[in-house]
Amino acid sequence: MAVIAGNWKMHHGPAAAVGFLSDFEIGSLPSAHELIVFPPTASLHAVASSDRRDARLQVGVQNIYWEAAGAFTGETSAPMAADAGASFALVGHSERRHVFGETDEDTRRKVEAAVRANLVPVLCVGETLDERRAGRVEQVILRQLDAALGGLRAAKRFLVAYEPVWAIGTGETATLADAASAHGSLRGRLAEAMGVASSATVPILYGGSVKPANAAELMSAADVDGVLVGGASLDPASFREIVDAAG
Ligand code: PEP
């Protein structure tokens, strides 16, 4: 079973998001895979509560703040996201790290907040092009994983997404060997931290310009348990094709 997750980023307001659900026609899809969408916060409740949403399509929040409530204008807490219908929380997405300046320490706090609110954290890690060129892929992604590991280990369940920054929204994708190598390093660190058997149950997703044409190949790489899809998840037909590509 693969995990196919769609990150809509800042697209699809409430009406468009519910329109997606109608057009996605999940009823006719094979049920073997785990499907998740991450709508923008403004559309979270509309998606989660829509009678057009099949229960097999799970819902997550793209970002949370670590405090539960208070004077934090513009932020969404983990309990509020859960109340609005989220079951998952993306943490440390590359746009949060590189556009909004989130640090490893911020991601640690957000993972802990997600776990307290019973949201399943999806920790995103990935290197920039400069870091890749400097041969620092493993060092960077393991540092990002290590920073969040304490919080992740307290979770009943968590996912990791390897998303090389240079591949997100660029049309570039990692080679199978690059993906397998990064995923293998992440799995190895999880095995050291939690034991081999538990580490094998953690889905590690690949993200970065996944589309219908490359999804099957990427999902065939060693230790790739699914995909986190940005741009190609916005269109119901292309998201369906990616689900189909998982077999
Ligand atoms: C993402 O948003 O996590 C992502 C991988 O985006 P894209 O598929 O558009 O590269």
CATH value at residue 10: 3.20.20.70
Q: How far is the CA of 211 from the centre of ligand 1 (A)?
A: 10
Which residue's CA is minimally distant from atom 1 of ligand 1? 230
What is the rounded CA–CA span in Å between residue 130 and residue 118?
36
CA atoms within 13 A on the CB side of 171: 0
Q: How buried is 51 (Cβ within 10 angstroms: 0-12 exposed, 13-18 middle, 19+ buried)?
A: exposed
pLDDT digits (tens, 9 = 90+) for 40-97: 999 999 999 999 999 899 999 999 999 999 999 999 999 999 999 999 999 999 999 9
- Please give the residue range of the domain that contains residue 70: 3-245
> Distance from the CA of 229 to the center of ligand 1, in angstroms?
5
Predicted TM-score (pTM) of the model is: 0.97
- Residues with a CB atom less than 6 Å from ligand 1: 7, 9, 163, 168-169, 207-210, 228-232
Interval 204-243: pLDDT, tens: 999 999 999 999 999 999 999 999 999 999 999 999 999 9
In the chain, how many domains are there? Answer: 1
How far apart are alpha carbons 138 and 131 in whole angstroms? 10
